[in-house]
Amino acid sequence: MQVSGKLYATGPLPFFFAGVRVPENYVNHVEAVAMFKGSIPALITPMTEDGTVDADAFQKFVDWQVNEGSTGVVPTGTTGESPTLSSDEHKLVVKLCVEAVAGRVPVIAGTGSNNTVEAVEFTQHAQEAGADGALIVTPYYNKPSQDGLYAHFKAVHDASDLPIIIYNIPARSVVDMSVETMTRLFELPRIVGVKDATGDLDRCASQRAAMGPEFVQLSGEDATALGFNAMGGVGCISVSANVAPRQCAEFQASMEAGDYAKALELHDKLLALHRTMFMEPSPGPAKYAASLLGLCGATTRLPILPIGDVTKAAIVAAIAGLGLQSAALG
């Protein structure tokens, strides 16, 4: 079976998919667990000094991420400055990412919006571009009800054949998807998991209890990813992995292998970097760190400002502590 130019195996339909539109080439929940796991950077979007998307730097950065061991990538998320990308730029970044990855790891495109029509448009484009999945944030600012959340995600689900990962981040969206609503959505064949940025480790356990191990749970917070995986998570959509992809991949691989002692050792080393990534609004710190490693410039778009001297010093110290060196990009 072929999806977006890539081959995946399929399995039998679970009984609860009866009556739901299922494409012939769907990726089922069991297969999603195998596809979407490990260290998955929420990619920054490199820009030139005048604020233009730097396509060449971005593709070299994506290639470096894959070569360093990242097990997937997420373009056009908040860390990629999706709120300030135009519609055309958004689609371009997804296309560039798919091209650079060239089928080596899954591409999970950020396609969310608080406008359902726009979320459908971005998700359909991501499928056409060859992405492997869609990361869709809960609608922000307009604060829908739980039934409104369900209707929003079902509308996007029904309009595309991509596996969908829910992005639940109440601190930014000011709406929290309940475990009950998530469980209802998981009955749809292409709702496969969640990026959980609630900061509540009990939520991971509750979601696992409600939906089982076939529901993909990815942490949205680097600093708590160790505990999250211990509670049933299978990976992290990471900001720190923009800067230290190899170390973040080793950290996730240690947990997958059951070596939590090694994972804790790596977590201790990475913690200072995790903390610096949010000393000021993201992705300012990540872009500055990337600039120190020769990955791209530090330019961000308003309203995100260049970071201050205190944060810069902390990032320099964190990079030195990890022994990170300038990257050689192709």
Report, as residue numbers or ranges, the catalytic residues.
167, 195
Closest CA to 112 of 64, 53, 175: 175
Cis, peptide link before residue 283, omega less than 30° from 0: yes
Phi-psi label, residue 35: left if phi above 0, alpha if psi -120 to 50, beta otherwise: alpha
What number of CA atoms fall less than 13 Å from residue 230's CA on the CB side?
11
Buried b (16+ CB within 10 A) or exposed e, 210-247: ebeebbbbbbbbbbbbbebbebbbbbbbbbbbbbbbbb
Task: Give CA–CA dist 172/280, Å, rounded.
Answer: 15
Task: Give CA–CA dist 256/273, Å, rounded.
Answer: 22
Q: Which amino acid is at 299?
A: T
Cis, peptide link before residue 303, omega less than 30° from 0: yes
Between 260-276 and 284-292, two packed helices, what is the crossing angle to 10 degrees? 100
Task: Give CA–CA dist 277/261, Å, rounded.
Answer: 24
Q: Are strands 108-110 and 133-137 parallel, antiparallel or unpaired?
A: parallel
Decide: helix, strand or coil at residue 164. Answer: strand
Tokens representing 279?
């000393």
Strands of 213-255 (E only): list them: 216-219, 235-238
DSSP, res 102: T
Please say whether the beta carbons of 207 and 179 come within 8 A.
yes
Task: Give CA–CA dist 283/239, Å, rounded.
Answer: 8
The span from the first CA to the last CA of the chain, in angstroms, equals 33
